[in-house]
Structure 1
Amino acid sequence: MSILLETKGLTKEFRGFVAVRSVDLAVERGAIHALIGPNGAGKTTVFNLLTKFLKPTAGRILYDGRDVTSLAPASIARLGVVRSFQISATFPQLTALENVRIALAAKAGGSFAFWRSDKTLERHNARALSLLEDVNLAEFADTRAGELSYGRKRALEIATTLALEPDLLLLDEPMAGMAHEEIGRIAALIKRIAVGRTVLMVEHNLGVVADLCDKITVLRSGEILAEGDYATVSKDPRVIEAYMGTGHA
């Protein structure tokens, strides 16, 4: 597979503290790639660098072969790179269907007139229902987002993300705070929606990504510690040491 997203020597310093040091990351097109590590490993900082919410101190970011290091966040999004938290703040008083329709209207590039026109939103009904079906929420289309369970709220957030038609979907700990049964449901959902697109996800728990990801990059103290499939990284003595005592190995 070809490389869709790549970093070369990606580094971020904060007043002398090196949060990310010389990270060379290669995300293959069509893969589910996990960026994992214990607390403080630098995972979220890398995500913030990739989505341009932070500027790197050094290094380069390439997307589909193009150097995007200096692009603004909006420009990155227009290229098809969408991060879950950017649109994950659903409107609790609106239904699941209404939340997805608003995301679709935003993608269509209309003005904020859609807030005042039911007709503008209703033309997105069919696609919104299709997206809800994709995340197993069709039966909750008329349920207010604030009344959904935590796991279903995360599924709704993924549906609104998909409304933006990303080529590369960045998920920031999509299963954090979930019960065991919800983790399995969201993992299956991620695997299903990954068909035809590329997914890069940050996750703290190594076990969560065992049967989900094609490739895993393990960070520790801002540097790549190990990389490979689950069978490879889970047996790496350095990874075991990094997770020792955390209960997540």
Structure 2
Amino acid sequence: MPENAPIIEARRLTRSFGGFVAVNNVDIQISPGTIHALIGPNGAGKSTLFNLLTKFLSPSSGHIFFKGRDITGMAPADIARLGLVRSFQISSVFPHLSAHENVRVALQAREHETFSFWKSNTCLRRFDDEASALLESVGLSDKAGALASELSYGRKRALELATTLALEPEVLLLDEPMAGMGTEDIGRTADLIRRVGKGRTVLMVEHNLGVVADLSDTITVLRRGEVIAEGSYAEVSANSEVRQAYMGASHV
């Protein structure tokens, strides 16, 4: 990939649902090693665009590229193997497995193994050190033996991030990582995203504008399925179209 080339790029990306155009001829470039946020008022098309870029929706027209490779026709599992791994808005951990076991499942999946309770501990133990290190990286060392169902909502999201990191993503794709969190968990999760994002590219949809302002290098603002502004938080918050889209809210 040429130096300074985008790691993810969309060209004239469009998605229609019947007669409704949710995303309309969007061009977007995600620079490697940055945290890039998609924002916009309700109904702006940001979730649809995110689903297109992560291949959970197919475009009506347009193309998506990863490191210069056209991935428009690829399935989500295939792009995950390329290094684009998505973390979901709703926590997707196994509730009746421990935090350690959840991460070990992800590590086995990375090795293209099926998680098997009947495998010997000796066979599975080779994942233990890496699982412990991943739990430590997200601040869950003290919860390694706890069932996922026993964790607080914020800690479940941290566990989900650990399982995502187990797949060794080059690009982290985060769908509303702060959704449903209290103030304390939001601060902790923002710090976690900043920490694990070092050396990676992060693309996220996020409604919490304080988090977006704090974390993001670049922000793309959508309205009615079209990009109306892009740049730093200072740049987009000063844009008159953005302020109008958010109904003149002083905190934009």
Q: TM-score, normalised by structure 2?
A: 0.93
Runs (5+) with no aligned partner, structure 2: none
Per the alignment, residue 189 of structure 2 pairs with 186
The reply to whether residue 136 of structure 1 matches residue 147 of structure 2 is no
Counterpart mapping for 1:119-198 below 5 A = 119-198=122-201
Counterpart mapping for 1:1-249 below 5 A = 1-85=4-88, 88-112=91-115, 114-117=116-119, 118-244=121-247, 249=252
Q: For 1:119 and 1:20, locate their aligned partners in 2 and report how far apart those are by CA, in whole Å.
A: 50
Q: Shift in Å at residue 174 of structure 1?
A: 0.3
Q: Shift in Å at residue 204 of structure 1?
A: 1.6
Q: 1:218 to 1:196 in 2, by over 3 A?
A: same
Q: 8 Å contact 2:37–2:212 — kept in the other structure?
A: yes
Q: 8 Å contact 2:44–2:223 — kept in the other structure?
A: yes
Aligned length: 248
Q: 1:147 to 1:119 in 2, by over 3 A?
A: same
Q: Shift in Å at residue 78 of structure 1?
A: 1.1
What are the Cα deviations for residues 204-239 of structure 1, in whole angstroms up to 9, with x where unaligned?
A: 222221110100001111111111001111121211
Q: For 2:102 and 2:221, locate their aligned partners in 1 and report how far apart those are by CA, in whole Å.
A: 35
Quote the sequence identity (%). Answer: 61
Q: TM-score, normalised by structure 1?
A: 0.94
Q: For 2:250 and 2:87, locate their aligned partners in 1 and report how far apart those are by CA, in whole Å.
A: 26
What are the Cα deviations for residues 162-186 of structure 1, in whole angstroms up to 9, with x where unaligned?
A: 0011111100000011111211111
Runs of at least 4 residues of structure 1 off by over 4 A? 245-248
Q: 8 Å contact 1:2–1:28 — kept in the other structure?
A: yes
Q: Shift in Å at residue 88 of structure 1?
A: 4.4
Q: For 1:110 and 1:133, locate their aligned partners in 2 and report how far apart those are by CA, in whole Å.
A: 24
Q: For 2:241 and 2:205, locate their aligned partners in 1 and report how far apart those are by CA, in whole Å.
A: 19
Q: For 1:246 and 1:120, locate their aligned partners in 2 and report how far apart those are by CA, in whole Å.
A: 57
Q: 8 Å contact 1:7–1:23 — kept in the other structure?
A: yes
Q: What SS does the aligned partner of 1:90 have?
A: coil
Q: For 2:166 and 2:181, locate their aligned partners in 1 and report how far apart those are by CA, in whole Å.
A: 24
